[in-house]
Amino acid sequence: MTTVRLRDLTVGRHPAFVATVLADTLDGMLQGVSNAQSAGADCVELRVDRLASAAHVADLVRRVNGPHIVACRSPSFGGFFSGSEAERVDRLQAAAEAGAACVDIEFLAVTTIRDRFLRAAKDMGVPVLVGYEDMEGTPPRHVLLDAVREIAQLSPDLLKLAVRATSHRDLLTVLSLVPEMLESAGAPFAAIALGPYGAASRPLACLLGASFTYCAVERGAAPGQLTVAEVRSVVDVLSEQRWTCSSS
């Protein structure tokens, strides 16, 4: 698998823990970044849904020195941005032009806008994460695997699969995809089952080969989202057990 450099973080060598920050103001975002870094996050997801303008997004990017991924989610993708699709991608464009470490765009975004943005980001040399999100449920396994392969054809720098689990069966569906994603994703990836049923996917996918996962700074940020400390602890403990078994 390839690796991707996000500032001083190399994604793809060992599991990276990404903490999500979402606030209404620039100061609130910056405080969230500080809190995430203090909590031990390797990288911060800057959710700019609620900031006042693209100019504020650019200002935020210029003031965050550490590894980060800029994302702007509309309600259809589980977010809060209420503007048009073009305005949403304008925020990502502003982030890229300001020198973002990485920008995130959904595979299921409007295709023409998505592909135009991908070309622009690549021209600027800004890494891009392309994600498949389903906020309602977990599609059949073959649908998800086909989506991963289609995303790989776009040559993203990072890839994410995030679907809502409504049962433990959904959790197992996501985890069962990780070995195949190692072969077909072509880039460092995350595989997440959202919601309480999917909580275990955050550390377990990393143990199966996922390159990164998403965490909360504090417990209760979202249903099923574990904290950075919790996910790191599970990964560390189970990695030690795996090493013990393989050497015994």
Given the DSSP bridges, would you call strands 9-11 and 103-106 parallel, antiparallel or unpaired? Answer: unpaired
Extended strands (E) in the chain? 4-6, 9-11, 16-22, 43-47, 68-71, 103-106, 128-134, 158-164, 189-194, 212-215
Angle at 81 between CA 75 and CA 85, to 5 degrees: 85
Give the DSSP letter of residue 189: E
Distance CA 178, CA 222 (A): 23
pLDDT digits (tens, 9 = 90+) for 155-166: 999 999 999 999
Amino acid making up residue 185: A
Q: What would the mean pLDDT of 156-184 be, rounded to a whole number?
A: 97
- With cut-offs at 50, 70 and 90, classify the pLDDT of residue 222: confident
Residue whose structure tokens are 């991963």:
148
Task: Give percent above pLDDT 70 in the chain.
Answer: 96
Nearest to 94 by CA among 74, 124, 115: 124
What is the reported pTM? 0.95
Dihedral sign of CA atoms 111, 112, 117, 120 in order: positive
Q: What would the mean pLDDT of 108-131 be, rounded to a whole number?
A: 97
- How confident is the model at residue 219, as a pLDDT? 78
Joined together, the tokens standing for residue 150 give 């289609």
pLDDT digits (tens, 9 = 90+) for 84-116: 999 999 999 999 999 999 999 999 999 999 999
Give all domains of the chain, ordered by start, each with its CATH number: 4-247 (3.20.20.70)
